[in-house]
């Protein structure tokens, strides 16, 4: 994961209302992201059920993701 993203309206194609369900506003009007991240694909190809997933943390010190 490389940054925080606002989910775009295309997710409503999966289920109407998803965009509204994952974006909110805080008390002072700031955007509160309940979901939405961006990542980098290192290699293309088909992903199948049962394929392994490897998590590689960045070097220390870790920093919170920022909006992109």
pLDDT at 50: 95
Q: Say which residues have a Cβ less than 8 Å from residue 36's Cβ, sequence separation at least 6.
A: 4, 5, 6, 7, 22, 23
* Three-state DSSP state, 61: coil
**What predicted TM-score, i.e. pTM, was given to this entire model?**
0.49
C-alpha angle 2/54/63, rounded to 5°? 35
For residues 31 and 6, the answer to whether their CB atoms sit within 8 Å is yes
Kindly report, residue by residue over 12-31, the tens digit of the pLDDT: 888 899 888 888 889 999 88
Grade residue 49 by pLDDT with cuts at 50, 70 and 90.
Answer: very high
The pLDDT of 40-49, averaged and rounded, is 89
């Amino acid at each position: 994961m490389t940054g925080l993203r606002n989910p775009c309206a295309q997710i409503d194609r999966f289920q109407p209302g998803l965009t509204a369900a994952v974006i909110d506003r805080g008390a002072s009007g700031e955007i509160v992201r309940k979901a939405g991240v961006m990542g980098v694909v290192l290699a293309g190809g088909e992903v199948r059920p049962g394929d392994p997933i490897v998590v590689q943390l960045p070097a220390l010190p870790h920093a919170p993701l920022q909006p992109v």
